[in-house]
Structure 1
Amino acid sequence: MLRDNLRSLWTAPRPPDAPGRVWRDWALVAAALGSVLLEVTLREDVVWRPVAAVLGVWLAVLPLWRRTRPLAMVALAFGAVIALQAATLVAAPREPVGLNSSLVVLVLVYALPRWGSGREIVLGVLVILAAFAISVVTDDIPAGEGIAALVFLFMPAVIGASVRFWATAQERQLERMRSHERERLARELHDTVAHHVSAMVIRAQAGRVLAGADPAAAVEALEGVEEEGARTLEEMRLMVATLRDSGAGPELAPAAGVADLERLLRAPGARLRVDLGLDGDLDGLPPAVGAAVYRIVQESVTNAMRHAVDATEVMVRVTGEPQRVRVTVRDDGARVGRGRDGYGLAGLRERAALLGGELSAGPGTDRGWHVEAELPRGRANNGVHPRTRR
């Protein structure tokens, strides 16, 4: 078990999508360089002032690459410290060499477990321990102070590992939500396809029975098969290869759609008044699109009921256009406590993307929280347009 855990640590990859440099990085470098300048200029007890200044500048600029090259930056920083300690063994200065601004290396210690791979973390920790051991020996630090210094040195690494674990857990939760939404969409598409295929089988059987006695009826049956086939292909085109197999039998209950919104939003005991508006052509939507509209409205209104502060009304608008369907949900609450999307909105954004649409959510310009989605109605299938049937 221990061997497996060590192997997993050694082979762990870097976290994906490490952010690039931001203004905070340049502010950190500027602060570190300013601290070096002040210490070199104002402090009278600095030993080997030129060497200390060069080391301080060197350590100040290394954090710029801490996310993309964490091991290299740790090796360069603590390698310089090791070289300096080796030089003090030969020259034996009266006081330790270095500036207080060298504490900027703690940023590198944090970045190593936060952004490094497992191999980089192990090697970087060995480099840090080597530099620390040499410093303890050359500076003749008592055991108690050495232990306290070691804890202080590795505390940023513990924080970095904790932040990494938390970010990984968040990403896994988001991925589970996306997978759940894909499974739900797959079940809904399964129901739609199963319905159309069953209708095609029935019509084909009827056409075979009528072929000899009534050729015209047989032709009409074949036209029906063609129509159902066109509908089936239209729904199948909404699938994507990344949909996960749920591993369980599909739920064959029909998926809720636009026609069910009135019942959904008129539930008794609701905290807020809901103003529902259905505009444009909303008939004949593909079931997957109708189900997505229902889910977007359901999740958005539920979030408003739970989180909107001082809100009195939720406005829901669903507009059918020739090529797309637009969904807008807005509340009039205060803009507090709603800084980021929840897992529900992440799942809806995934569903919209799978259907070829997009969803955005955020605070309104004056008040409230706005959710807006745009979904394609569907594409024509080789010029065959299914007719509306009763």
Structure 2
Amino acid sequence: MGIVWAFVTGRDRELDPPIGWWRGPTWLGWALVLGVMGMWAISAFLIFTLANAGNSLVGVLVAAPEFAAVVLARHFPLTAVRLAFAATIAAAIYSKELPHPLGYARHWPLDSHLIPLAPVVALGIARAPKERMAGVALLAFGAMALATPIVAVGYGADMMAGPIAGVIGAVIAGFILNDNRYTRLESEYERQKRSHLQQRTKIARELHDVIGHHLSMIAVRTDSARYRLSGVTPEIQEEFSALGDAAREALTDARRLIGVLREDDSEAEHLPQPTIDDIPELVQSAVASGASVTAELSAVPGVPAMVGLAAYRIVQESLSNAMRHSPGTPISVCLRSAEDSIELSVENGPFAPFSEAVDGNGLAGIKERVSLVGGECAAGRRADGGFRVWAKLPR
């Protein structure tokens, strides 16, 4: 039962961490709390001492537990609510009409008791688990239910109207704070989830671009070895073919794994690796693999890192697709620079009849990169059956 948990079996560690609304230095926050509560404790001590014919022990009995409740509320919220409960009963027992007004208490000392009681109750409910909020609220209402008949005997139940209204307000405030707290926690969880998915997308794209490119290179070089090297015996060629098959199988498995990592609605990554200056080396690597590549590469100084990375990956993916799907056909790479843009294209001859379809992840990655930097691109078959990838990137 909720009230039993709140009053007896519950532990402070079961409540959520502090709300954390204070953004200033910790020492300043504590100084403000202790300063305000110190002034209240002195006033409450004087008020209840006055109401009880100068009995200072009564003032201490009422003021000390409530002061302690506020101080403990941050690290021991459930203990603080229980202390406030006990202090409320003590205040009801020793409440007597004042012989004359004192400070903010005009004629009834129990009203002043609500100054620390209300925030302790509200913060206790705000930090309670959803299923335990009602228990903390019932504990606060239980204090009022016990205090009301005690006061009503001597002064009438109407004297409790103010304290009861104050506790109702504190409970409502606690429920609102709790709801807002969980909303913020859910928003933070969603933000972290999006960040995690973006990181996964980044890893997937880089795996596709880097591993896919190099595995394709291995397959192409092993397939073309008999044409590039002399003295390749049938046994050696069989070994090369086995290596090529293994590379293609590894590429298929890698794509399957990358498909698990990818999230199409995630944002592209922002951390550049290669640059546009590395494209000539990329072309030379393709030539060394046996591909027939001609390149027209203009110098493009002062390119932003993100644009340079996009240009490099576009050429890398296009070369990989051309060598994989249309081996042996000529490939042309063109990179031109204008005043405010970079235009690049990669074209190859007709696809071999036995080739597989162009990899959708690669073209999707190209479109994502171009979109990220604010460019435009197009990819598709030429009239002669070849393939062309074109992109225009801003400088």
TM-score range, shorter-chain basis?
0.3 to 0.5
RCO comparison, higher one (Cα < 8 Å, 6+): 1
Judging by fraction of residues, say which structure has more helix: 2
Q: Which has the larger radius of gyration?
A: 2
